[in-house]
Amino acid sequence: MPVVNMHTRTPIAAINDFVVKFANVNGSGSASANELFARAILRMGVPVSPRNIFPSNIQGLPTWFEVRVTEKGYLGRRGGVDMMVAMNPQTWAQDLKEIEAGGYLLYDSTRPMPASAFRDDITVIGIPLTAICNATYADVRQRQLFKNIICLGVLSWLFEIEPKEIERLFSEQYKGKEALLASNVKALNLGRDYARDNVATGTCHLKVRRADAVGDMIFVEGNSAAALGCVYGGATVCAWYPITPSTSVVEAFQSYCKKLRHDPETGEARYAIVQAEDELASIGMVIGAAWNGARAFTATSGPGISLMTEFIGLAYFAEIPAVLINVQRGGPSTGMPTRTQQADLLSCAYASNGDTKHVLLFPEDPKECFDFSAAALDLADRLQTPIFVMTDLDIGMNYRLCKPFEWDENRSLDRGKVMTAEDLDAGKTFGRYLDVDGDGIPYRTFPGTHATKGSYFTRGTSKNRMAGYSEAGPDYVENMERLLKKFETAKTYAPAPIAHLAPSPSRCGVLYFGSTAPAMAEALDNLAEADAPLDAMRIRAFPFADSVAEFIANHEQVFVVEQNRDGQLRSMLINEIGVDPAKIIAVLHFDGTPITARFIVKAISTHLGKTDAATKTLVHS
């Protein structure tokens, strides 16, 4: 019997609003079939939000693919699973446990399982996928690959996903390879036919219905978007060292540059990408290139930042532009290379020995990865200092629906304060570390500018305003205070925070940033529905805009939601704004999976319920 419905709970019924999770073994070819599942729903005009939860491994370990189907456009994780497609015996028990009461389990029933292996409050749909494959295909590799497509066929039947959308995706994927196209369509129909003939109508109450909720949005990974932002931001030098989860930033940069940055006549490249020997060398190359007037960036993750820290201090003190795209993963040390966190805020904000403060940007999605990467290149030149684009694995390595990329045709790249040979000839005073304009930002010259004027010798040692080596206390203090002034100036250039105010004044507020944004949007709606509307503010940059301090001042209590253990943003707010620590409550999610709307709702509502709460920290349960 393919279907066992235990009926102790009414099966969940939902249209365009549910969570499907695929449990697979990595390296088995499941990823592309799972992605087709998500894309087919998207093509029906229903937003989806897929997430890969994968191991640091190439073949044989458990991997999951979670798809949020959401007509309302909630692109964060909701929490909970309505249907588990359990294809990995290694994780069977854990996967079964995650299914919501009334949910569904789809599994390969080729080998019979005892009733004790299931739950009595879910609908179990057994499909003998291996048996179907073995009967149809002789080749072992084909059996493996088409099993995933047959499964896709079954799911499309159960959810009523239009097969023509899947076939259209096949034809886009296998353009010019008609044999592959035909065999995939055949496998898809094998699954659909089996489900039609063997699964009773009305077994699955999770349905996809054509809608018009996608509009002109695009479906793209944050890393690819950041890379494109670097192309548009005018980066010409990229130096990097491979590290998960940032590697695909550079791979995408390479691929976009191949299309967009070669001289049409000579075929020569208007960019240079160097895979360095380590992260120390990659940031060193970025700094060398930027000192010499090119726009340069690197992409890395937490362990790379640790290695780059010495050079970051040099760039801060010698005042050299640099852009670092930090796709954060679980730390410390090697940590969880394939899991997500927002745990590098402190290590980036204050990177280096001595007193430093660095500009951080926090994109929420691929659209902002594009915008902020391009902006970071402008900011780096404008402020002559390292700029960090603080994305993470959740944004970087998952396809995310977002607004289309935009570019103002009249925008020109901001090269900042650069003195030219003409300026020098006109008699302008040049002092490399001289604050001419009162904003803390000095002028610079590029090497090779002028035969007799404007050259300077820079260094990581202390210096006077004319770039002469100096160990004199007053010179050092003046320079360090100017750097602080420059950091203050950065506020006027960095992206401002975005406030979402509740319809009526709210006693409590929420601060959040980066990849927490989509789950927060859903959580705020849920809290409002539960009569707990909250004002919210999404922080988009460090240094913090003055409006962040005002937001905190205007609320009795403020929750700071972060994906790290120690409340790093909260520490920075206390440190930089001087907020009363008792007033800001950390809500922390740090198990390496992306934060869910349910987690946020539970944490905040629990706290709101406890008026005399002694504990200020609500940790992931």
Partner 1 sequence: MTYIAKPKLHHPALTHNAAGFTRRDYEGTISTLCAGCGHDSISAAIIHACFELNIEPHRVAKLSGIGCSSKSPTYFLGNSHGFNTVHGRMPSVLTGANLANRELIYLGVSGDGDSASIGLGQFAHVMRRGVNMVYVVMNNGVYGLTKGQFSATADRGSKSKKGAVNQDSAIDLASLAILMGATFVARSFSGDKTQLVPLIKAAISHQGAAILDVISPCVAFNNHAGSTKSYDYIREHNEAMNRLDFITGQEPITADYAPGTVTDVLQHDGTTLRLRKLAEDYDPSDKAGALAHIQERAAAGEVATGLLYLDPLPRDLHEGLNTVAAPLNSLPDEALVPGRAALVKINAGLR
Q: Among 151, 154, 296, 601, which residue sits at the site for partner 1 (rule: CB under 8 A)?
A: 296
Q: Are 219 and 41 in contact (CB under 8 A)?
A: no
Does residue 291 bind partner 1 (CB under 8 A)? yes
The C-alpha atoms of residue 83 and residue 233 are separated, in whole angstroms, by: 42
Long-range contact list for 32-38, CB < 8 A, 24+ apart? 32/148, 33/148, 33/149, 33/151, 33/152, 34/65, 34/67, 34/148, 35/65, 35/399, 36/152, 36/166, 36/169, 36/170, 37/67, 37/152, 37/155, 37/156, 37/161, 38/67, 38/399
Q: Among 270, 500, 507, 610, which residue sits at the site for partner 1 (rule: CB under 8 A)?
A: 270
Only segment of 92-100, 153-161, 235-243, 575-583 that touches partner 1 (CB under 8 A): 235-243
Question: Which residue from 347, 392, 350 is spatially nearest to 368, judged by alpha carbons?
Answer: 392
Only segment of 77-85, 89-97, 99-107, 442-450 that touches partner 1 (CB under 8 A): 442-450
The C-alpha atoms of residue 33 and residue 533 are separated, in whole angstroms, by: 40
Q: How far is the CB of 392 from partner 1 (least distance, A)?
A: 21
Q: Determine the 3-state secondary structure of 195 from DSSP.
A: helix
Return the number of the residue (274 or 608) whose C-beta is nearest partner 1.
274
- Residues numbered 166-225 forming contacts with partner 1, rule: CB under 8 A: 216-220
The C-alpha atoms of residue 476 and residue 474 are separated, in whole angstroms, by: 5
Q: How far is the CB of 456 from partner 1 (least distance, A)?
A: 7
The C-alpha atoms of residue 518 and residue 364 are separated, in whole angstroms, by: 8
Strand pairing category for 535-538 and 498-500 = antiparallel
Question: Which residue from 148, 42, 90 is spatially nearest to 400, judged by alpha carbons?
Answer: 42
Does residue 88 bind partner 1 (CB under 8 A)? no
Q: How far is the CB of 383 from partner 1 (least distance, A)?
A: 18
Q: How far is the CB of 548 from partner 1 (least distance, A)?
A: 32
Return the number of the residue (127 or 227) whose C-beta is nearest partner 1.
227
Does residue 422 bind partner 1 (CB under 8 A)? no
Half-sphere exposure of 16 (CA within 13 A, CB side): 18
Does residue 231 bind partner 1 (CB under 8 A)? yes
Return the number of the residue (60 or 404) whose C-beta is nearest partner 1.
404
Return the number of the residue (212 or 556) whose C-beta is nearest partner 1.
212
Q: Among 50, 234, 304, 509, which residue sits at the site for partner 1 (rule: CB under 8 A)?
A: 234
Q: Among 450, 465, 491, 565, which residue sits at the site for partner 1 (rule: CB under 8 A)?
A: 450
- Residues numbered 317-346 forming contacts with partner 1, rule: CB under 8 A: 318
Q: Among 110, 136, 171, 455, which residue sits at the site for partner 1 (rule: CB under 8 A)?
A: 455
Q: Reply yes or no: is the peptide bond before residue 112 cis, omega within 30 of 0.
A: no
The C-alpha atoms of residue 224 and residue 252 are separated, in whole angstroms, by: 5
Q: How far is the CB of 4 from partner 1 (least distance, A)?
A: 40
Only segment of 467-475, 506-514, 596-604, 607-615 that touches partner 1 (CB under 8 A): 467-475
Q: Are 515 and 329 in contact (CB under 8 A)?
A: no
- Residue 386 neighbours by CB under 8 Å, 6+ apart: 312, 315, 316, 321, 322, 323, 324, 351, 358, 359, 380
Does residue 32 bind partner 1 (CB under 8 A)? no
Q: How far is the CB of 389 from partner 1 (least distance, A)?
A: 18
Return the number of the residue (224 or 516) whose C-beta is nearest partner 1.
224
Q: Among 73, 163, 460, 495, which residue sits at the site for partner 1 (rule: CB under 8 A)?
A: 460
Does residue 236 bind partner 1 (CB under 8 A)? yes
Q: How far is the CB of 180 from partner 1 (least distance, A)?
A: 21
Return the number of the residue (67 or 122) whose C-beta is nearest partner 1.
67
- Residues numbered 350-409 forming contacts with partner 1, rule: CB under 8 A: 404-409
- Return the bridge partners of 508, or none: 557
Return the number of the residue (207 or 450) whose C-beta is nearest partner 1.
450
Q: Among 31, 280, 336, 613, which residue sits at the site for partner 1 (rule: CB under 8 A)?
A: 280
Does residue 445 bind partner 1 (CB under 8 A)? yes
Only segment of 82-90, 145-153, 161-169, 287-295 that touches partner 1 (CB under 8 A): 287-295
Residue 360 neighbours by CB distance under 10 Å: 27
- Residue 137 neighbours by CB under 8 Å, 6+ apart: 143, 146
Residue 496 is which amino acid? A
Q: Among 242, 332, 448, 581, which residue sits at the site for partner 1 (rule: CB under 8 A)?
A: 448
Q: How far is the CB of 299 from partner 1 (least distance, A)?
A: 15
φ, ψ (nearest 5 deg) of residue 265: -90, -50
Return the number of the residue (58 or 457) whose C-beta is nearest partner 1.
457
Q: How far is the CB of 258 from partner 1 (least distance, A)?
A: 11
The C-alpha atoms of residue 174 and residue 152 are separated, in whole angstroms, by: 17
Question: Which residue from 348, 307, 324 is spatially nearest to 249, judged by alpha carbons?
Answer: 324
